[in-house]
Structures are given as C-alpha cells and as structure tokens.
Amino acid sequence: MGLKEKIADTQIWRSIFRHGYPSTPRNRALAALSNVFLHLHPVKARKSGIKLSFTWCMGGITFFLFLLETITGVLLMFYYRPTIEYAYNDVIAMREHVPFGIMRELHRWGAHMMVLAVWLHMLRVFLTGSYKPPREFNWNVGVILLLLTLLLSFTGYLLPWDQLAIWAITVGSNMARAHPLIGHEGPGASLLAVGDVNLVTPASDIRFGLLAGRFVGAGALLRFYVLHCVAFPLVASLLMAVHFWRVRKDGGISGPM
C-alpha cells in the first residue's frame, strides 16, 4: 500500500471524505452530495452555464463581494463603536491609526460594487428569460436578496456618523412617515385612535420604531448597527443558501435561448 492509499485509508480521512478516490461519475456525484458546501451546487453543469457571455458571472461576483464585505466588515467591527461619542472618530482612526487603513475603503467600495453587481445579475436573469418556470420561485428569492442588499447599503450608510450619513438617513427615513396607517403623516394614520387619542404619532409610528426616537440620534445609530452587522447578513446568508440550492433543484443554470 502506497502512502497515498494509507492516508486515504485512515479513519480521519474516511470520516471527512465519505467516498472513494477514483474519478468515476459515481464518486464525483458523491463528492458533491456529501459536502455541505458543494451540495448546494449542481452535480453537473451545462456548458452554457459556465460561459461568461451567458451569466456575466454576476451572481457569482455578487456572492464574492458579499464574502468580501463579511470579512472586511468583521475586521472593521474590531475598531468601531456604535455610539455618537465614538463612531465618527473611530471611523477616522480606522484610516489613520490602523495598519491597512484601506480596509474601510475596501468595505465601502465593495458595498457600491455589490449593489451594482446585484442589479446587473437581475438584468441578465431578466434578459435570458431565466425567471420563467420552473425558476419563478428563485426569482422571488432574488427579489428579497436585492432588497436585503439595498437595506445593507442603507444601514451601513449611517454608521460613519458624519453630516452626509445623518442627513441621508434623515431624508431616507422620513419616507416612512408617509406609510399608510402606521406612518404618522400617511393616509389613514388618524384611523387608529382611541377616542380623542391618536395612536399613530411621531413617537409611536413605524419611523419611530426604525429610529428609536423622533429624529436620527443615538438610538438610530445603534439600531442600524445591529441590523447592518447581524440581522441583515444573517437573513441574507440563509436566503443565499436557498438561492443556490434552488438553482440546482430547478435544473441548473438555464440554457441559452
């Protein structure tokens, strides 16, 4: 028995790779099926599916950028404190007091690129007609992923706590005032009342829930931070797993028209 076979015969090796070594179609299928990451992929890919001219690789690039944002984002979290005393100074310090001060720029540019890439991915899915049955469910998963990408972008925008951030989020969150029924300036807001007491006010409506205050302040900064660093990435990761799994289950990447 050669060394190669000996290693492949150890309990450790066999507990990790639960299939044989030879490159038979069966083993290749088993390799994909018994690996949690690979099993999200199709066992076989159509030739057209890996053509750059067909997919533009925009879904793949979006996923790559999501990974980049996750890694750089976690690194930034080691230095950034989400309070109005520290946030702005921590962001400045990140550029000047820390090796690889470019980390923050990577995160910011990556975010812009990801928004761009996800739109282009959606465009190519539309242009190739890949939203049609049996892929209509995955299109809807994609719509939620698009929303999550935009929300990640929006919540991250506030975190530097500079003038641009505060006023951009002020303007953006003011739209929630006009939400029907649950925004205090929206249609039907006065319908929710007990006698004379209006239940939907600037201190109880949907915008207040988002900002934890009547204006963009300390509460909003903390809330956006938690949404940006924990809640949205978590939901997005889950949905991406579903998204990739469904590409496989819907018959792999669609063929050329």
Partner 1 sequence: MNPEEGPTRRGFFGNLFVAWAIFLAGVHFAGAGAVRFLFPNVLFEPPLSFKAGVPSAYAEGVDESFKSSHAVWLVRTLSDPLSDRTGIEGMYALSTTCTHLGCIPNWQSADVKFKCPCHGSGFRMSGMNFEGPAPRPLERFRIVRADDGQILVDKNQKYQWEKNQWTSAEAYLPV
| Closer residue to ligand HEM (CB): 128 or 173 | 128
218: contact with partner 1 by CB under 8 A: yes
167: contact with partner 1 by CB under 8 A: yes
219: contact with partner 1 by CB under 8 A: yes
Distance in Å, CB of 232 to ligand HEM, minimum: 11
Contacts of 165 (CB under 8 A, 6+ apart): 157, 158, 159
222: contact with partner 1 by CB under 8 A: no
| Closer residue to partner 1 (CB): 70 or 204 | 204
| Closer residue to partner 1 (CB): 106 or 218 | 218
Distance in Å, CB of 159 to ligand HEM, minimum: 20
Contact positions toward ligand HEM, by CB under 6 A? 55, 57-60, 62-63, 66, 118, 121-122, 125, 128, 130-131, 135, 138-139, 142-143, 145-146, 149, 240, 243, 247, 253-254
How far apart CA 219 and CA 229 sit, in angstroms, is 15
